[in-house]
Amino acid sequence: MAIFKGAGVALVTPMKEDLSVDYEKLEELVNFHVENGTDAIIICGTTGEAATLSHEEHLDVIKACVEYTKKRIPVVAGTGSNCTETAIYLSQKAEEYGADGLLVVSPYYNKATQDGLVKHFTAVANSVKLPILLYNVPSRTGCNILPETIVKLVKNVDNIVGVKEASGNISQVAKLMELAEGQVDLYSGNDDQIIPVMSLGGIGVISVLSNIAPKETHDIAAKYLEGDTKGSLELQLKYLSVINALFKEVNPIPVKKALNLMGKKAGSLRMPLTDMSEANTAILEAEMKKVGLL
């Protein structure tokens, strides 16, 4: 059984003025998503600035998110690392804290061979009982998890169940699903490709857009799953310009700006990420107004 179907939000980590984690705002955001139809919360991923959280903060945020969500929707914890031992440690603690699943990114910077990826992900999976989604985002990690590798892992490791595919390469996704024979839970990792990925057998999206448009992103996926492809397509295209504006600068710079424009007070970003430029902020604000988000 899939961890979730539909739209999971890649949740931001709200910060106070001193750049410490704002747990009060985090609870508000969790409740906002539960109330507006988000199907799962993905905590401490790329959008959650996991790269600049200490291990203690990382785990505290996961624990808090699980507590705030109160099992109303699944919580998937980002626990990947370029160090296998660290990924195991984070994964075991997330399981202890009550997460419903794990999102494990491919090792970054040091990268790995495909054989190394198999050994890395297998070691992490064998250390826990939770279902695991692989996270393929080669533009950030410099390491592409090939379709053959994903299928090998899903078929041979019981609790590796699927993948967040953010390569942007639809041909690669098609190859994956050809080889997978229905055994991979596929999620789009790109908001502008929700329908293309779902048309190949995907069951949802792990979304940045959901941070500011949770109901609408839920509806894109839900309508497709219900067979209303026309309605799903209309929504995908309606929000395409907003999606493009959310990636005018590296994620999560724009989405935090968007939340602040909406009065959600997500705070600033930890360096080396910096605030969105005035020119790109103006574009983002204009596109949000066009679709009624402001």
Quote the CA–CA distance of 157 and 58 in Å, as a whole number.
26
Which is nearest to 78 in space by CA: 43, 52, 53, 26? 43
Q: Please, what is the angle between helix 253-261 and helix 278-290, to 10°?
A: 60
> Between vectors from CA 190 to CA 283 and to CA 38, what angle results, nearest 5°?
90
Decide: 276 and 249 in contact? Cβ < 8 Å.
yes
The DSSP annotation for 114-138 comes to HHHHHHHHHHHHHT--S-EEEEE-H
Residues 6+ away with beta carbon under 8 Å from 256? 12, 266, 267, 268, 269
Q: Which two tokens stand for residue 155?
A: 């078929």
List 25, 63, 68, 135, catalytic entry: 135
- DSSP class per residue in 137-159: -HHHHS----HHHHHHHHHHSTT
- The residue from 164, 256, 257, 264 that is catalytic is 164
164 catalytic per annotation: yes
- Quick check: 102 and 134 in contact, CB under 8 A? no
DSSP 50-90: GGGS-HHHHHHHHHHHHHHHTTSS-EEEE---SSHHHHHHH
CB-based contact 202:186 (threshold 8 Å): yes
- SS3 (DSSP) at 104: strand
Give the integer Cα–Cα distance in Å for 251 and 50: 12
Q: Is 135 a catalytic residue?
A: yes
Catalytic residue IDs = 135, 164
